[in-house]
C-alpha cells in the first residue's frame, strides 16, 4: 500500500465566509453544537461524552432512533444483540420525531423531521451530521443553511471503502460539489478519508482532522480490570483459557468483527491451516468473536480442526478480556472503511495484522513495527505475517508495546482538539497525547 505523510500535522486554517456572522463563543457564550445521527453507537457516544465536558461547547445530540439502547436484531451480526455499556449517559440528547424509528438503519430510515424547528429553538451555532448520504441529513443541512447555522460533516468513506462502478465514479464529483456548497467543514477520520475529500474537490481549508478513535481510557483501564476479573462474567484470562480449552502456553490469534463475507474470516481460517512450522510448533489457537452470515460455514469448515474456537457476539466490557487473551489480532477485510476493532486491540498492547483494504492500517499499522499490512485476499501473505509474530514471542511483545505507543495519541483528546479547531475555538489545556 502506497503511503505518504498523514495530514494530521498543524496546518494553516482558513475560515468560511459564513463564519463572520457566527457567534462561536462571542462574549464568553459557549458554542451551541447540535449533532445529528441515526441512532446511538457506542463509539460515537464515548466521544459525545468527552465533548460534553468542554466548558465552552454546549452539546446536544439528536437521534432518529434509540433502537440500539435495547436488545435488537442486527443484520450485520445476523443475531439479536445487546450492548453491555451505557450509550446515552453523560451528554444531553433528544430523540427526534422520525418515520421508521423501529426499523434497522438504512438509506431512508430513520427519516427524522422537525430538525429545523429544534435548531431554531436551541439557537444552535453549528450542526454536525454523521454521514452525508441520507436524505434526512440532506434536509437537515439545508435547514441549517437557511438559518445561518454552520454545517459540519463527518463520514468514514474513502477510496477503498466500497467498490464503485463507472456511473458512481462519474457522478461523485458532481455530488461532492453540492456537498461542498452545503458544508463549512469536513471532519476527516483518517488519512484516506481526507485524501478522498481532496480528490473530490474539497479544499484543504475545509478539511479538519478529527480521527476515528475509541475510548482509550476504557480499554486501557481494562489492562488491570481484566487481570483482576472485573469483567461482565468475572472470568480472568486463565479462566477464559480454561473455558475455551486453550492451554496456558499456547499463543492465540484473535479475529473479532462481524462474520461477513467482505471481512474474509474464512481467509483467517485458511491462513491458520498454513502457519509456518516454527509457528505451528507453539500449538497456536484461533478465536473468532462475532456472529454473521459466515458463522455456520466457518464452523463447518473448522469441524475436526483442533485449536479453533467460536465465542459468539461479545459486548465492549467482555471484549477487553479477549484482547488481553490474544497474542496477535487480525482483520483481513476488503472494503473496510476503518475497523475500530484495530484501535481496541492496540489499546491492549497487541500486534495487529490487517489487509491493505482496511482503512485504519494506513494510519495505525506501521509495517514491521507494530504489525503487518498484507495484500487483501492473499492467504500466503497473511499466514506468513501471523507466523512471523507467533514464532517469535519477544518480537510479538515488542510490536505490542509499539501498538500501545501509537494508539496513545489517537484518542478522544485528539478528536476534541480537532473539533475545537473546526468550531473556531482556541486550543484547550492539554489533556492527552499528540497524534503519533
The CATH number assigned to the domain holding 303 equals 3.40.50.2000
Same domain? For 240 and 106 the reply is no
Full domain range(s) for residue 363: 216-407
Return all residues near 357 (Cβ < 8 A) that are at least 6 apart. 160, 333, 334, 335, 336, 376
Same domain? For 179 and 268 the reply is no
Nearest to 56 by CA among 85, 31, 22, 83: 31
Q: What is the DSSP letter of 294?
A: T
How many domains does the chain contain in total? 2
- Could you tell me if residue 269 is inside a domain? yes
CB 257 within 8 A of CB 290: yes
Same domain? For 64 and 160 the reply is yes
Crossing angle of helices 340-347 and 316-325, rounded to 10°: 60
Where is average pLDDT lowest: 24-33, 133-142, 153-162, 165-174?
Answer: 24-33
- Could you tell me if residue 4 is inside a domain? no
Q: Tell me: the pLDDT tens digits for 241-285?
A: 999 999 999 999 999 999 999 999 999 999 999 999 999 999 999
Nearest to 273 by CA among 370, 168, 380: 380
pLDDT of residue 220: 92
Same domain? For 222 and 366 the reply is yes
pLDDT of residue 346: 98
Q: Tell me: the pLDDT tens digits for 364-423?
A: 999 999 999 999 999 999 999 999 999 999 999 999 999 999 999 999 999 999 999 999
Q: Tell me: the pLDDT tens digits for 325-352?
A: 999 999 999 999 999 999 999 999 999 9
Band the pLDDT of 27: cuts 50, 70, 90.
Answer: low
- Could you tell me if residue 12 is inside a domain? no
Where is average pLDDT lowest: 51-60, 184-193, 423-432?
Answer: 423-432
CB 197 within 8 A of CB 363: no
Q: Please check the confidence at residue 209 and state whether its pLDDT lies above 90.
A: yes
Phi, psi (degrees; rounded to nearest 5) at 58: -105, 105
Nearest to 46 by CA among 411, 421, 428: 411
Mean predicted confidence (pLDDT) in 352-373: 98
Amino acid at each position: 500500500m502506497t503511503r505518504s505523510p498523514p495530514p494530521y500535522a498543524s496546518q494553516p486554517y482558513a475560515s468560511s465566509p459564513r463564519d463572520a456572522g457566527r457567534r462561536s463563543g462571542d462574549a464568553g457564550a459557549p458554542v451551541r453544537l447540535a449533532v445529528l445521527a441515526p441512532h446511538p453507537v457506542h463509539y460515537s457516544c464515548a466521544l459525545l461524552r468527552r465533548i460534553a465536558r468542554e466548558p465552552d461547547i454546549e452539546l446536544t445530540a439528536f437521534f432518529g432512533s434509540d433502537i440500539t439502547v435495547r436488545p435488537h436484531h442486527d443484520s450485520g451480526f445476523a443475531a439479536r444483540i445487546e450492548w453491555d455499556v451505557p450509550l446515552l449517559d453523560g451528554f444531553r440528547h433528544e430523540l427526534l420525531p422520525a418515520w421508521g424509528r423501529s426499523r434497522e438503519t438504512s438509506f431512508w430510515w430513520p427519516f427524522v423531521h422537525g430538525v429545523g424547528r429544534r435548531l431554531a429553538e436551541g439557537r444552535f451555532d453549528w450542526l454536525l451530521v454523521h454521514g452525508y448520504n441520507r436524505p434526512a441529513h440532506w434536509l437537515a443541512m439545508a435547514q441549517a443553511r437557511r438559518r445561518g447555522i454552520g454545517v459540519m460533516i463527518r463520514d468514514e468513506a474513502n477510496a477503498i471503502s466500497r467498490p464503485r462502478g463507472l456511473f458512481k465514479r462519474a457522478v461523485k464529483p458532481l455530488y461532492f460539489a453540492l456537498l461542498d456548497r452545503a458544508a463549512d467543514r469536513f471532519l476527516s477520520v483518517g488519512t484516506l478519508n481526507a485524501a478522498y475529500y481532496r480528490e473530490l474537490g474539497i479544499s484543504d481549508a475545509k478539511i479538519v482532522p478529527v480521527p476515528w478513535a475509541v475510548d482509550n481510557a476504557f480499554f486501557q483501564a481494562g489492562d488491570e480490570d481484566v487481570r483482576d476479573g472485573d469483567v461482565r462474567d468475572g472470568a480472568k484470562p486463565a479462566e477464559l483459557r480454561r473455558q475455551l480449552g486453550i492451554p496456558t502456553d499456547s499463543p492465540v490469534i484473535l479475529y473479532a468483527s462481524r462474520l461477513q463475507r467482505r471481512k474474509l474470516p474464512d481467509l483467517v481460517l485458511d491462513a491458520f491451516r498454513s502457519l509456518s512450522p516454527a509457528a505451528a510448533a507453539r500449538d497456536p489457537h484461533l478465536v473468532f468473536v462475532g456472529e454473521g452470515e459466515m458463522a455456520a460455514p466457518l464452523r463447518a469448515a473448522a469441524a475436526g480442526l483442533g485449536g479453533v474456537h467460536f465465542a459468539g457476539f461479545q459486548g465492549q466490557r467482555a471484549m477487553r478480556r479477549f484482547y488481553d487473551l490474544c497474542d496477535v489480532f487480525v482483520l483481513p477485510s476488503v472494503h473496510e472503511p476503518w475497523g475500530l476493532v484495530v484501535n481496541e486491540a492496540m489499546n491492549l498492547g497487541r500486534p495487529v495484522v490487517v489487509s491493505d483494504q482496511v482503512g485504519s492500517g494506513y494510519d495505525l499499522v506501521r509495517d514491521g513495527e507494530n504489525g503487518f499490512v498484507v495484500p487483501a485476499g492473499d492467504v500466503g501473505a497473511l499466514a506468513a505475517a501471523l507466523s512471523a509474530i507467533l514464532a517469535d514471542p519477544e518480537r510479538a511483545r515488542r510490536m505490542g508495546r509499539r501498538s500501545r505507543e501509537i494508539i496513545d495519541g489517537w484518542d478522544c483528546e485528539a478528536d476534541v482538539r480537532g473539533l475545537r479547531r473546526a468550531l473556531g475555538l482556541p486550543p484547550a489545556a492539554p489533556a492527552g497525547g499528540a497524534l503519533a
